[in-house]
């Protein structure tokens, strides 16, 4: 389906900023220039987020084969689904989102924006891979020229978008020691590792895939000129809590911390967990004063409004 020979299209505003978060750093016991944030939450299209870098590659593939419909899958509050809908609107393509489970009683968060962008939503009726795959196949067989984008927008070709991001970070902050990022479907971390190496990238598992280590290693190995040993990857596995869609106490604390020191908002599923992992790494002395750490903000703000339990945060 994918060819690495097709150049990406531009769907966002680049480069995204890299900013110091000095008040937050000091609250964590670090120096004012020890902690920075890469603002991939302000990529421009559809409310922003990391999926845009991937969609620049996958949508280029779709256009190259004459696709008329983009089809993708995700959870009800999928940021990837929202941004696929926005990309399709920008490109004049039909968009069908196949979402796991049953249609909720009320429409909140990303679901509101999916509909605003004109996406058609198909509820798979179950969360199993077979239920979702069957629904995708039915949509693909319904006419036009379909192009199916994988769960999370992740493939080895799409991960090249985060090779681009890694290069930006190096240009903006030479000598960066590490980048901490949420690990969902794996493509964002894979692209960073492919360019920066395993020693400078830490992924925080959010529970989106059963085996995040093999997932990331497999993606890196499929990328041109890249290879990695799975056991060398730096992946934090202690932030999943009761499951992907649940709000953990640590994530809630991380959201509160960055909001109250810097006025920057995180989401409960991805960036909240990732920043909670960073906080724990500081507590464990794996991140110390005097080194430069970049937290990659992958977006997801609309997801805040799909979690009513966040209204209890004080």
State the catalytic residues.
78
The answer to whether 300 and 269 are in contact (CB under 8 A) is: yes
Sequence-separated (6 or more) residues with CB below 8 Å from residue 15: 168, 171, 172
Q: Which of 70, 76, 74 is nearest to 90 (CA)?
A: 70
- The alpha carbon of 62 is separated from its chain's Cα centroid by a whole number of angstroms, namely 20
**DSSP designation for 266:** -
Q: How many CB atoms lie within 10 A of CB 283?
A: 11
> What tokens does 293 get?
């750490």
B/e letters for 122-145, b = 16+ CB within 10 Å, e = fewer, are: bbbeeeeeebbeebbeebbeeeee
Residue (of 188, 181, 195) closest to 37 by Cα position: 181
Please list the alpha-helical segments (H only) found in the chain.
22-27, 51-64, 79-91, 110-116, 129-140, 160-172, 187-196, 212-222, 249-262, 271-283
């Amino acid at each position: 389906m994918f060819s690495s020979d097709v150049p990406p299209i531009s769907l966002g505003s680049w480069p995204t900023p890299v900013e110091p978060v000095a008040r937050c750093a000091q609250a964590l016991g670090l120096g004012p220039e020890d902690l920075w944030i890469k603002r991939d939450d302000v990529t421009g299209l559809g409310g922003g987020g990391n999926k845009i870098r991937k969609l620049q590659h996958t949508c280029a593939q779709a256009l190259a084969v004459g696709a008329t419909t983009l089809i993708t899958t995700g959870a009800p509050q999928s940021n990837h689904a929202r941004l696929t809908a926005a990309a399709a609107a920008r490109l004049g393509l039909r968009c069908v989102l196949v979402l796991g489970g049953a249609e909720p009683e009320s429409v909140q968060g990303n679901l509101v924006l999916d509909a605003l962008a004109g996406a058609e939503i198909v509820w798979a009726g179950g969360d199993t891979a077979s239920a979702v795959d069957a629904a995708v196949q039915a949509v693909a067989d319904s006419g036009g020229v379909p192009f199916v984008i994988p769960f999370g927008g992740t493939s080895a070709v799409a991960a090249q978008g985060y090779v681009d991001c890694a290069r930006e970070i190096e240009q903006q902050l030479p000598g960066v020691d590490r980048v901490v990022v949420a690990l969902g479907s794996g493509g964002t971390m894979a692209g960073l590792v492919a360019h920066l190496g395993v020693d400078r990238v830490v992924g925080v598992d959010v529970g989106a895939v059963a085996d995040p280590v093999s997932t990331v290693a497999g993606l890196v190995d499929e990328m041109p000129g890249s290879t990695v040993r799975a056991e060398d990857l730096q992946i934090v596995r202690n932030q999943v809590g009761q499951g992907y869609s649940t709000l953990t106490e640590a994530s809630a604390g991380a959201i509160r911390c960055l909001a109250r020191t810097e006025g920057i908002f995180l989401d409960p599923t991805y960036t909240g967990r990732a920043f909670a992992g960073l906080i724990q790494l500081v507590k464990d002395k794996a991140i110390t004063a005097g080194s430069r750490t970049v937290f990659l903000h992958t977006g997801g703000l609309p997801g805040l409004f799909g979690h009513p339990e966040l209204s209890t945060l004080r």
